[in-house]
Amino acid sequence: MAPATQAPAESGEAPGAGEAPNPAAAAGLHGFTGDELHGLLADMLLYRRFEEKAEEAYAIGKIGGFCHLHIGQEGLAAGAIKPLGADDLVVTAYREHTQAIAKGITPRAVMAELYGRVDGCSGGRGGSMHLFDTALGFYGGHGIVGGQIPLGAGLAWAIRYRGGDQICVCFMGDAAVNQGAFLESLNMSAVWQLPVIYVVENNGYGMGTAFSRVSVTEMEARSGAYGIPAHTVDGQDVLETYRFFEGLAERVRGGAGPQFVNAITYRFRGHSMSDPVSGTYRSKEEVEARVQGQDPITILRDRLMEAGLLTQEELEALDAEARAASEDAADFADASPLPDPSTLYDHVYAEINPNGRLFLDGRPGAPGSGTTAGSRVVGGQAGGARG
Amino acid sequence: MAPATQAPAESGEAPGAGEAPNPAAAAGLHGFTGDELHGLLADMLLYRRFEEKAEEAYAIGKIGGFCHLHIGQEGLAAGAIKPLGADDLVVTAYREHTQAIAKGITPRAVMAELYGRVDGCSGGRGGSMHLFDTALGFYGGHGIVGGQIPLGAGLAWAIRYRGGDQICVCFMGDAAVNQGAFLESLNMSAVWQLPVIYVVENNGYGMGTAFSRVSVTEMEARSGAYGIPAHTVDGQDVLETYRFFEGLAERVRGGAGPQFVNAITYRFRGHSMSDPVSGTYRSKEEVEARVQGQDPITILRDRLMEAGLLTQEELEALDAEARAASEDAADFADASPLPDPSTLYDHVYAEINPNGRLFLDGRPGAPGSGTTAGSRVVGGQAGGARG
Amino acid sequence: MAEITYREALNAAMCQEMDRDDSVFLLGEEVAEYDGAYKVSRGMLARYGDRRVVDSPISELGFAGLCVGAAMAGLRPICEFMTFNFSILALDQVINSAAKMLYMTNGQVPIPMVFRGPTGAALQLSAQHSQACETYYVHAPGVKLVTPATPADAKGLLAAAIRDDDPVAVMEGELLYNVRGEVPDEEYVIPLGVAEVKRPGDDVSIVTHGKMVHVALQAARALEREEIEAEVLDLRSLRPLDVDAVLKTVAKTNRVVYLEEGWPFAGVGAQIVSLIQDEAFDELDAPVLRVTQADVPMPYAKNLEQLAKPGVKAVVEACRKVLYLEAGTS
Amino acid sequence: MAEITYREALNAAMCQEMDRDDSVFLLGEEVAEYDGAYKVSRGMLARYGDRRVVDSPISELGFAGLCVGAAMAGLRPICEFMTFNFSILALDQVINSAAKMLYMTNGQVPIPMVFRGPTGAALQLSAQHSQACETYYVHAPGVKLVTPATPADAKGLLAAAIRDDDPVAVMEGELLYNVRGEVPDEEYVIPLGVAEVKRPGDDVSIVTHGKMVHVALQAARALEREEIEAEVLDLRSLRPLDVDAVLKTVAKTNRVVYLEEGWPFAGVGAQIVSLIQDEAFDELDAPVLRVTQADVPMPYAKNLEQLAKPGVKAVVEACRKVLYLEAGTS
Ligand SMILES: Cc1ncc(C[n+]2csc(CCOP(=O)(O)OP(=O)(O)O)c2C)c(N)n1
Ligand SMILES: Cc1ncc(C[n+]2csc(CCOP(=O)(O)OP(=O)(O)O)c2C)c(N)n1
Ligand SMILES: [Mg+2]
Ligand SMILES: [Mg+2]
């Protein structure tokens, strides 16, 4: 079993602490220092424990709506985002809890958003699918499959327009490449040589549909039509992924133009909370094999232990921290208040024009509805509660 | 100068009739019989004279709205459509006058449609951009760039669904490949192995924008992403084009799956009647060079004459026929009545449900608006004329 | 007559029509192997095979257009949108191809197809997944639109929509799929354009459609306790629109509230108000009031979402107001 | 003050704003090298270079979304649609990204951009090129919409739209581009949400927007010959909506006709009728009449197109009807 479902302590084959570093294994460590390696492991453990906590919270109704877990794909959150600069931009789809944390949003702010509370990173208005913190370069969190792809091109456009040296990383799922927006965005990115990396988190399925059922070509074939180089990386190997994105980001920063990355990964949970882990579209065996052999956390853990760079005690300590941070996030979220009902109409418009009416429901609470002697139209619990 | 602007009689270098056939030239004739060759020349002359006539009619206000001429691209109308069976399906964009004639719609019915008269192939309701005759397998005539691409996939879907052995040919302009619908349609066509040939009439420009300005790749690169074979053909060489499509159509009929054809051609006129032939986006020199050297009619004419298969007299006779047919079409169109005002609400719905109101304008003429004691809403000259 | 869910009723309608007409097929995301994202097509792949029950890529514009093309050739596609929110991507094919085709072709090319799926909000799905899309489908002539509220209506209206020779949008509701109700076992259709009084009453009319019918009925029950008899008129079909039924209830109660799930500006209710004031101006004892979603994108937070949605209390209040049981604010 | 065309006024507004703010840029099909399909951006490429005046591929969804993304990063894109007909392809980015972004992000991400281009019919462009798109842009909260009818309004409203911190759709008219009028040379803006009485009158109010203002003025002149003084109120801005101005003209004449270019069902006029009957019920001496496009796709044939379009005669007739100068039919 993977850490996801077991206490690391139980992991049998971990070599005892203090063993001599194994040179063969060291080769697989891509020159990271021990601290860096522990840091990446800690990051992924946090992502995993955080989402397990979210899963619990969802089960008891603390979180509502759609909730898409990234569990199994954490190698990409850490490997693709950690190499980026603080002012680089990330835009993505709705399976983005761990990506948000990787870009610097606190577990508290993310969990509070899942709970729909004021201290959430989107003030409780966005929820699981719409996490944002633009001060940290995290541009969401979008729910329409493929909808973030043109947005990513636009963010990169703005960087180029201002002559900045940041880059934009735009994540999407494998199924999103069948949206027309993919063609239009990649083509414009190529024509205008935008500093953007399009990353497909290729977990093999769009909901219940295997990519091979909706494409006759491999993912790598999808970007050549626009002259955009395609790369493939093993998203379950966080160290390889990190080094790969580190290098690619610098190339794009240096003017290499748009890039397309096919990152191979796997979703360990159902598509969303309502979807069983395995069933009609993928077998129990398939899922178990991946969970056994392809868990990015287990892979790194074992590699570090083999190399003698991680002891059982250290692992347990890191895992305990991750659990504690997740608990803390949940407690924080639970304590955070619901948005004030009086804010219902806030942030629909950035500019409430002094003239005219912007809100036509004529409810008592609606700004501007008072420009005339009170509309007689009423609606919503609001009207009811206040009328 | 090309026949477009000159009487073939003036063409100097045409060898006298009855000369011995030139074997070298014969090689370029792809094994067509003399009658077939004369037939193709006659077809293209008709297309040319027909549109020159439309040009005149537009200038004097007989034709309104947008009018996109195919002049210069006739080799594709004849070469891609004539090899098709009567029950094969063609769907295309708005530059489709000659394609409609090639598929069998009479010049009279097409010209009457341009004139907006009842005898038009769309009853005068569609106009230049919306020519239809489904009995002849011509499915229009669509004005939204790229809008016909999914429709073409759908027509092919219906063929496959019914187990028929027809194919669908879906034309588009070079600029249309930058529409998301292109990706979505080609991908579905590949996944479902639909019997469809997507043909790009690559005249190098989308309105005033050269393809090279909105794509970093060559046209051939655009279909590989979906595993659809790309072919290139010289659309100005009607004989080569004909043989190519003849062969490709049979392959698709035989189950070869969707195909993508980059047909190289050139637009001799402006984008539409309001656009000058040359100007900001293409030089006078460029246009003249193409008109001189790349006119599909001149190319076939000269080849036939070189091969001694066409005399000056024969050419003049064919051209006279083409002119006569175009004149006849214009006279017919002119004599055809405008649609009856009482038909304004016809064909909005195929089924006027016995219950409820379908038309909400409440005008006197609107069906169903009488289900209640006459709406008080009025509108349009109609209401005015009748009220 | 058996009690089944709204979901099962839709499934029954599709099977009923697919059994009688081979030209009917179902295409959409997850409709086949997954039995539908909301399990509406459960068992249909096994029953009809992958020729007629087809999983599509996530290409709304493309597969909607493909279905329109298939309809041009005479097939009768049922195009399922996982939700109508996503159909905004396909709107060009709905409006510029499906709605306008018959007219542009002078009657040559009917588009006998169905666009179906859930519209409007469920629970905490946030702004991009909670939109009521009626206005986008009812504005352009050439498309018809029905909004079944009960299992019996779902089966009868979907069957009628599939048989109709025009493009018909059938807007369902995620929150309706589990609603149970009596549904005739035998084959039947409910003709388009026929509204239904879901509850008779003499004092005030609550006119509505779709999911909101249930909110209206709850409001009517609440009003009953105050001895106010509200009539609940379910339009069922927005185009064709049963104008006679609307005028009849206006004439009966002289006081009307229009309840809808969507936004107010150019909403369905605006059209109904326009119709009533135009054709029954003198019958009204009070202006028609509208109860709509708050004029804001749907928020995620539970309490804000509840505030944003049109609810029973608001309907009750609106009914009191048109009855002048509460001082109006103007 | 010089007399210039509507086209030149739009150009002047864009130049005025691009001169004062480097974050403003223009992107769309044919806007640069071709000077715009309707020559609205004439000379702007030469003046601002291809960094700020950009020709896009024919990818409406993509380039509209790219502009939204650029606005997320704080730029102020002017996204030109060659016509709004084509923007239906981009509607997902307009509604699901531009309109909802600020709300979903709790105010973090304003979208200060403009969507502009011609809406509605020109002459014989047929069904797919003649649609009035106001309803699609006004229904969802989060977008603003203005519809300038004169050169002076075009310059002032477009400038205000560019400066506004929200997404603003500026709907122009192909048939308006050559209209000439007096336009102040100096820098100015016309605030959003302020309607204008284009012609005062005491007997009947013709409320309208955009291109139809000119039809309304012609109708008013025709009515003048019968000694009927019609007031023409140009809303200019549909969202924000100048409700006070509407109620003022209702109070003044007590008789209203709403004239619009688009279709009736859930049209702008439906909302105005709903608003008036709701907030000025007792001021009305007659029901508000609506004059709209016939409820059919736009036909190509000249005579049918003329019939389908709302015209002067229909407006005159509607005005007579609300004045009961002609027997109403009900
Ligand atoms: C345009 C659109 N169509 C359909 C949906 C419903 N939907 C949500 S996620 C999803 C599958 C996407 O799969 P993929 O892109 O591979 O991402 P993953 O869920 O695997 O991370 C679908 C169909 C949607 N949100 N948007
Ligand atoms: C979606 C859409 N965007 C823009 C237009 C306006 N438009 C009409 S034709 C055209 C150029 C198309 O060029 P291409 O596809 O190469 O065809 P060609 O005109 O060269 O035959 C444009 C931009 C349109 N009709 N539809
Ligand atoms: Mg996936
Ligand atoms: Mg072209």
Find out whether A168 and A155 touch, Cβ atoms under 8 Å.
yes
Provide the 3-class DSSP secondary structure of residue C144. Answer: strand
pLDDT digits (tens, 9 = 90+) for A150-167: 999 999 999 999 999 999
pLDDT reported for residue B279: 84
pLDDT digits (tens, 9 = 90+) for B279-329: 889 999 999 999 999 999 999 999 999 999 999 999 999 999 999 999 999
pLDDT reported for residue C111: 98
Please, which residues have CB within 8 angstroms of residue B162's CB and are 6 or more apart in sequence? none
- The C-alpha atoms of residue D225 and residue D214 are separated, in whole angstroms, by 17
In chain D, the residue whose alpha carbon lies closest to the alpha carbon of C266 is D266
Number of H helices, E strands in chain D: 12, 14
Find out whether A195 and A156 touch, Cβ atoms under 8 Å.
yes
Q: Are strands B138-141 and A209-210 parallel, antiparallel or unpaired?
A: unpaired
Contacts of D192 in chain A (CB under 8 A): 353, 355-356
Q: What is the mean pLDDT of residues B169-189?
A: 98
Residue in this structure with the two tokens 């005033």, named with its chain if needed? B208
pLDDT reported for residue A365: 78
Give, in order, the Cα–Cα distances in Å from D182 to each of A377, C185, D150.
41, 71, 9
Does residue A341 have a cis bond before it (omega within 30 degrees)?
A: no
Banded model confidence at residue D131, pLDDT cuts 50, 70, 90: very high
Q: What is the mean pLDDT of residues C311-319?
A: 97
Q: If you average pLDDT over every residue of chain A, what do you get?
A: 90
Please, which residues have CB within 8 angstroms of residue B57's CB and are 6 or more apart in sequence? B63, B111, B114, B115, B330, B333
pLDDT reported for residue B143: 98
- The C-alpha atoms of residue B80 and residue B244 are separated, in whole angstroms, by 8
Query: In this model, does residue A2 exceed pLDDT 60?
Result: no
Please, which residues have CB within 8 angstroms of residue D129's CB and are 6 or more apart in sequence? B65, B66, B129, B143, D83, D85, D122
**Alpha helices for chain A (secondary structure H):** 23-27, 34-59, 74-81, 97-102, 107-114, 148-162, 180-191, 238-253, 284-293, 296-306, 312-335, 380-386
pLDDT reported for residue B25: 61
pLDDT reported for residue A6: 39
pLDDT reported for residue B367: 82
- The C-alpha atoms of residue C310 and residue C294 are separated, in whole angstroms, by 7
Q: How far apart are the first and last CA of chain B?
A: 57
- The C-alpha atoms of residue A149 and residue A137 are separated, in whole angstroms, by 16
Neighbours of ion ligand 3 (CB under 5 A): A 173-174, 203, 205-206
Whether residue B225 lies within 8 A of chain A, CB to CB, comes out as: yes
Q: If you average pLDDT over every residue of chain B, what do you get?
A: 90
- The C-alpha atoms of residue C227 and residue C224 are separated, in whole angstroms, by 5
Q: What is the mean pLDDT of residues D19-34?
A: 98
Residue in this structure with the two tokens 């489709």, named with its chain if needed? B96
Select the residue from B194, B213, B216, B219 to test the A interface by mutation, using most A Cβ atoms within 10 A: B216
Q: Give the pair of three-digit tokens for residue C325.
A: 């049981």
Q: Do C57 and A215 touch (CB under 8 A)?
A: yes
**pTM > 0.90:** yes
Q: How many CB atoms lie within 10 A of CB D119?
A: 29
Find out whether B174 and C54 touch, Cβ atoms under 8 Å.
no
pLDDT reported for residue D45: 98
Q: Give the pair of three-digit tokens for residue D115.
A: 């969507």
Query: Which amino acid is residue B44, in one-letter code?
Result: M
Number of H helices, E strands in chain A: 12, 8
pLDDT digits (tens, 9 = 90+) for A267-295: 999 999 999 999 889 999 999 999 999 99
Q: If you average pLDDT over every residue of chain C, what do you get?
A: 97
pLDDT reported for residue B28: 77
Q: How many CB atoms lie within 10 A of CB B104?
A: 15
DSSP state of C58: S
Query: In this model, does residue A170 exceed pLDDT 70?
Result: yes
Does residue D240 have a cis bond before it (omega within 30 degrees)?
A: yes
Catalytic annotation present for C60: yes
Helix (H) or strand (E) holding C53, with range, is strand C53-55
Length of chain A: 387
Q: What is the mean pLDDT of residues D185-203?
A: 98
Residue in this structure with the two tokens 């864009």, named with its chain if needed? D14
pLDDT reported for residue A370: 41
CA atoms within 13 A on the CB side of A16: 1
Whether residue B144 lies within 8 A of chain A, CB to CB, comes out as: no
Query: In this model, does residue B47 exceed pLDDT 50?
Result: yes
pLDDT reported for residue A55: 98
Q: Give the pair of three-digit tokens for residue B166.
A: 């027809």
Query: Which amino acid is residue D140, in one-letter code?
Result: A
Give, in order, the Cα–Cα distances in Å from D116 to each of B167, D44, D150, D158, D159.
41, 16, 16, 9, 12
Q: Do C313 and A381 touch (CB under 8 A)?
A: yes
Percent of chain B exceeding pLDDT 70 equals 88
Q: What is the mean pLDDT of residues A209-228?
A: 98
pLDDT digits (tens, 9 = 90+) for C76-100: 999 999 999 999 999 999 999 999 9
- Residue D86 near ligand 2, beta carbon < 6 Å: yes
Query: Which amino acid is residue D136, in one-letter code?
Result: Y
Number of H helices, E strands in chain B: 12, 8
Banded model confidence at residue B14, pLDDT cuts 50, 70, 90: very low
- The C-alpha atoms of residue C314 and residue D238 are separated, in whole angstroms, by 27
Provide the 3-class DSSP secondary structure of residue B243. Answer: helix
Q: What is the mean pLDDT of residues B25-36?
A: 86
pLDDT reported for residue B369: 53
Query: In this model, does residue C192 exceed pLDDT 70?
Result: yes
Query: Chain centroid to CA C212: how far?
Result: 10
Banded model confidence at residue C205, pLDDT cuts 50, 70, 90: very high
**Alpha helices for B127-201 (secondary structure H):** 148-161, 180-191
Would you tell me the crossing angle of helices A34-59 and A74-81 to the nearest 10 degrees? 130
Contacts of C138 in chain D (CB under 8 A): 265-266
- Residue A271 near ligand 1, beta carbon < 6 Å: yes
pLDDT digits (tens, 9 = 90+) for C38-74: 999 999 999 999 999 999 999 999 999 999 999 999 9
Output the DSSP codes for D68-123: HHHHHTT-EEEEE-SSGGGGGGGHHIIIIIIIHHHHHTTTS-----EEEEE-S--S
Would you tell me the crossing angle of helices B34-59 and B296-306 to the nearest 10 degrees? 150
- Cα-Cα-Cα-Cα dihedral sign, residues C81, C85, C90, C93: positive
Find out whether B206 and B175 touch, Cβ atoms under 8 Å.
yes
Which ligand places an atom closest to the C-alpha of C57? Answer: 1
In chain D, the residue whose alpha carbon lies closest to the alpha carbon of C126 is D104
Q: Give the pair of three-digit tokens for residue D36.
A: 């715009």
Find out whether B67 and B128 touch, Cβ atoms under 8 Å.
yes
Q: What is the mean pLDDT of residues C123-147?
A: 98
Give the CA-trace dihedral at B281, B282, B284, B285, to 10 degrees. 150
- Residue-wise over C284-319: b if at least 16 C-beta within 10 A, else e? bebbbbbbbbbbbbbbbbbbbbbbbbbbbbbbbbbb
Residue in this structure with the two tokens 């009902």, named with its chain if needed? A341
Length of chain C: 330
Q: Which of C8, C17, C29, C60 is catalytic?
A: C60
pLDDT reported for residue B4: 39
Q: Is C54 exposed, middle or buried (0-12, 13-18, 19+ CB in 10 A)?
A: buried
Banded model confidence at residue B24, pLDDT cuts 50, 70, 90: low
Helix (H) or strand (E) holding D59, with range, is none
Find out whether A263 and A294 touch, Cβ atoms under 8 Å.
no
Query: In this model, does residue C326 exceed pLDDT 80?
Result: no
Cα D58 to ligand 2 centre (Å): 7
Residue C238: left (phi > 0), alpha (psi -120 to 50), or beta?
A: alpha
Higher-scoring residue by pLDDT: C9, A377: C9
Give, in order, the Cα–Cα distances in Å from B106 to each of A157, A342, B111, B349.
50, 68, 9, 27
Helix (H) or strand (E) holding B59, with range, is helix B34-59
Query: In this model, does residue A260 exceed pLDDT 80?
Result: yes
Provide the 3-class DSSP secondary structure of residue A218. Answer: coil
Q: Give the pair of three-digit tokens for residue C27.
A: 């295409």
Residue in this structure with the two tokens 């011995």, named with its chain if needed? B20
**Alpha helices for A296-351 (secondary structure H):** 296-306, 312-335
In chain A, the residue whose alpha carbon lies closest to the alpha carbon of B211 is A191
Q: Are strands C196-199 and C230-234 parallel, antiparallel or unpaired?
A: antiparallel
Residue nearest to atom 11 of ligand 2 (CA): B206
Query: In this model, does residue C257 exceed pLDDT 80?
Result: yes
pLDDT digits (tens, 9 = 90+) for B219-265: 999 999 999 999 999 999 999 999 999 999 999 999 999 999 999 99
